[in-house]
Amino acid sequence: MIHALLSSRATAQRLALVVLLAALTGCASVKMPAPAPSAANAEKLRATKLVPAQVGSFKLAAGKPAEMDTTLGGLRGSSLSPAGGSFAGQLRDEIAAELTAAGLLDSKSKIVIEGQLTDSMVDAGMSTGKGRLAAKIQIKREGKTVFDKEVIAESTWESSFVGAIALPAAINQYGALYKTLVGKLFDDADFKRALASQ
C-alpha cells in the first residue's frame, strides 16, 4: 500500500518534470501515466464488505464529440493524452487498479461495472485553473442494472500567467480528478449496496 502511494507520487513528479521542460521549450504533448492504486481508495474498499466485480466496457457517452475521449485542450497550445488512447479507458483502468489493490477484481464475476465518459476538461487559466471529469457509471448483476448514476469530480486552483508554472499544475490537477471521481464512486451508498454480498 505504501509502495503504491510512493509510486503514484513518483509518477506525478516525473510527469510534472516532463511538462515543465516542454513548457520551457514550447508546446508540449504529454501522455498520462498508467493508473496506479491509491492507499486512500484501497482502504475505502477494504473497509466495506463488497463482493468482487469485473470491469466491463467504458466508452464515450453518446452525443459527445469524439475528441473529448482522446485529447485535452485548455493547456495553452499544449496537449495531454490518455495512457491507452482513451480517457474513458483511463477511468476504466483507474477503477480496475483500485479493485485489484483491494482484491476485488474478478474477471469471472457476474457483477460488471461499466461507464460512459460524459465530461473531460481542463483550463490552465491565467489566474484561476479549473478542471472537470464526469462519467455515468452502471453496475449490472447477472445482466440486471442495479446502479446507474453520473459521478462528477471538479477542481479549481490558483493558476499563473507563466506557462512553466501553470501547465504542470493544470495537468496534475486534471490527473488527480480520476482518483477523486473513483473515490466519490466508492463512497456512494448506492454503489456499496450494489456490490454488497447478498
pLDDT at position 127 is 94
| pLDDT digits 0-9 by tens, 8-46 | 555 555 555 444 444 443 466 889 999 999 988 888 898
The fraction of the chain above a pLDDT of 90, given in percent, is 71
Determine the number of helices (DSSP H) and then strands (DSSP E) in the chain: 5, 7
Query: What is the residue extent of each domain of the chain?
Result: 2-194
How many other β-carbons are positioned within 10 Å of the β-carbon of residue 104? 20
In this structure, which amino acid lies at residue 99? L
Rounded distance between C-alpha atoms, residue 198 and residue 140, angstroms: 14
pTM of structure: 0.85
CATH class of this structure's domain 2-194 = alpha beta
